[in-house]
């Protein structure tokens, strides 16, 4: 494995030498401070500053996990698990209501990790970005409030490109005050009947043999090859393509007359384009946890009906909420194109179905 990694790294270096100019870095005036930001991030388990009594508590513990590809290969994963529940990939989702004060406790028995509740924007101490605060090595309780409903996700923010790929992420859903089954559309709260959550991911199995701190080395760094990602497996919400065509974790079933809400996340490192059959063309009602046309924070936007066969292209970590009101019965395909993040080559097309009965 080490040999393969070395060859790949040399290849990417040769490519980089040809194509990319080195950006000059100013002299580092305070090496200790620079390294504290880079690879010597403080480890600590402090009490939560200004802790209040929360409306809701969630607990996540680090676990080793494993998933099995359709051709029987075992891929080591790391996940955040609910201590009360069995392991799953993606990590167990969090679900809150708008306006709640949340305590999210990370339990890290092995090494250090963080939980970054992406898009929530709490205080720096509670943001789970070790580079600007610290990395907990035992327990830390992140405190934040859920200001705006929407589709978010949480992930480890230590050696982020690697730990995110390893599976340390899960959905974070915030419902409006009316609760599950309702979503904001422009300046109204509307009901939906069927919800689908699609976390679209890609896996390079080589990365799953890297060590925890791969690429971390002060003062000169270590080229672990984390700029060289070559996915071999393509998944939606933990289901490998082509099983996505049949697996009820991905497929959608609705009755004619019902409203479908799709929450779509690019949880990978490819550029992903999702295209719906013309008979289930969706309306985009939110981007990255912000409702389009919600006057509280989006005065100059509005929901947008997609054109027939118009794809939705997302890069890493982007999210959209989509509303579909099917007008006829049928089994309508949805395709997911995964494209290489630099050259744009099509690497894979996954498929699932929306069945309207």
Residues that bind Cu ion (CB under 5 A): 113, 156, 158, 163, 168
Q: Taking the complex as a whole, how short is the minimal distance between the CB of residue 290 and Cu ion, in angstroms?
A: 27
Q: Taking the complex as a whole, how short is the minimal distance between the CB of residue 109 and Cu ion, in angstroms?
A: 13
Q: Taking the complex as a whole, how short is the minimal distance between the CB of residue 167 and Cu ion, in angstroms?
A: 10
Nearer to Cu ion, 63 or 97 (CB): 63
Q: Taking the complex as a whole, how short is the minimal distance between the CB of residue 156 and Cu ion, in angstroms?
A: 3
Nearer to Cu ion, 82 or 279 (CB): 82
Nearer to Cu ion, 63 or 158 (CB): 158
Cis preceding linkage at 231, omega within 30: no
Q: Taking the complex as a whole, how short is the minimal distance between the CB of residue 80 and Cu ion, in angstroms?
A: 9
Nearer to Cu ion, 158 or 184 (CB): 158
Nearer to Cu ion, 166 or 200 (CB): 166
Residue 344 · residue 234 · CB < 8 Å: no
Nearer to Cu ion, 113 or 233 (CB): 113
Distance of alpha carbon 173 from alpha carbon 170, whole angstroms: 10
Nearer to Cu ion, 67 or 79 (CB): 79
Q: What's the start-to-end Cα distance of the chain, in Å?
A: 49
- Which residue's structure tokens are 């939560």? 48
Distance of alpha carbon 75 from alpha carbon 202, whole angstroms: 12
Distance of alpha carbon 350 from alpha carbon 246, whole angstroms: 12
Nearer to Cu ion, 214 or 354 (CB): 214
* Percent of the chain that is helix, strand, coil (3-state, to 5): 15, 40, 50
Q: Taking the complex as a whole, how short is the minimal distance between the CB of residue 267 and Cu ion, in angstroms?
A: 15
Give bridge partners of residue 331 from the DSSP assignment.
355
Nearer to Cu ion, 91 or 274 (CB): 91
Task: Provide the sign of the torsion angle of the four alpha carbons 129, 133, 139, 144, taken in this order.
Answer: negative
Q: What is the DSSP string of 188-222?
A: EEEE-SEEEEEEEEEE-GGGGGS-TTTT--TTT--
Residue 25 CB neighbour total at 10 angstroms: 6
Q: Taking the complex as a whole, how short is the minimal distance between the CB of residue 163 and Cu ion, in angstroms?
A: 3
Distance of CA 311 to the CA centre of its chain: 20
Distance of alpha carbon 260 from alpha carbon 239, whole angstroms: 21
Distance of alpha carbon 314 from alpha carbon 92, whole angstroms: 23
CA angle at residue 317 from 155 to 305, to 5 degrees?
A: 140
Which tokens belong to 66? 């494993």
Q: Taking the complex as a whole, how short is the minimal distance between the CB of residue 107 and Cu ion, in angstroms?
A: 13
Residue 337 · residue 346 · CB < 8 Å: yes
Q: Taking the complex as a whole, how short is the minimal distance between the CB of residue 78 and Cu ion, in angstroms?
A: 7
């Amino acid at each position: 494995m080490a040999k393969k990694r070395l060859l790949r790294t040399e290849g990417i270096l040769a490519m980089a030498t040809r194509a990319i100019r080195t950006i000059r870095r100013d002299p580092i005036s305070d090496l200790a401070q620079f390294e504290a930001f880079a690879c010597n991030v403080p480890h600590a388990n402090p009490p939560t500053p200004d802790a209040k009594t929360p409306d809701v508590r969630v607990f996540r513990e680090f676990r080793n996990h494993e998933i099995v590809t359709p051709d029987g290969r075992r891929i080591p994963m790391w996940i955040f698990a609910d201590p009360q529940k069995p392991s799953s990939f993606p990590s167990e989702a969090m679900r809150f209501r708008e306006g709640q004060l949340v305590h999210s406790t990370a339990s890290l028995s092995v090494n250090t990790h963080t939980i970054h509740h992406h898009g929530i924007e709490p205080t720096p101490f509670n943001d789970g970005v070790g580079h600007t605060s610290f990395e907990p090595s035992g327990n830390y309780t992140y405190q934040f409030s859920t200001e705006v409903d929407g589709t978010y996700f949480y992930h480890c923010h230590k050696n982020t490109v690697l730990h995110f790929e390893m599976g340390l992420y899960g959905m974070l859903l915030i419902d409006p005050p009316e609760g599950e089954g309702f979503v904001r559309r422009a300046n109204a709260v509307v009901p939906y009947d069927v919800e689908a959550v699609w976390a679209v991911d890609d896996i390079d199995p080589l990365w799953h043999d890297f060590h925890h701190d791969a690429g971390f080395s002060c003062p000169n760094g270590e080229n672990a090859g984390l700029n060289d990602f070559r996915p071999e497996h393509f998944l939606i919400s933990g289901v490998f393509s082509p099983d996505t065509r049949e697996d009820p974790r991905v497929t959608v079933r609705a009755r004619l007359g019902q409203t479908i809400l799709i929450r779509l996340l690019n949880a990978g490192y490819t550029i992903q384009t999702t295209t719906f059959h013309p008979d289930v063309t969706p309306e985009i009602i939110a981007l990255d946890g912000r409702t389009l046309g919600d006057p509280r924070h989006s005065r100059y936007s509005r929901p947008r009906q997609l054109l027939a066969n118009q794809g939705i292209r997302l890069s890493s970590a982007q999210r959209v909420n989509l509303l579909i009101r099917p007008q006829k019965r049928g089994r309508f395909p949805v395709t997911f194109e995964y494209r290489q993040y630099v050259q744009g080559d099509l690497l894979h097309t996954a498929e699932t179905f929306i069945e309207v009965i």
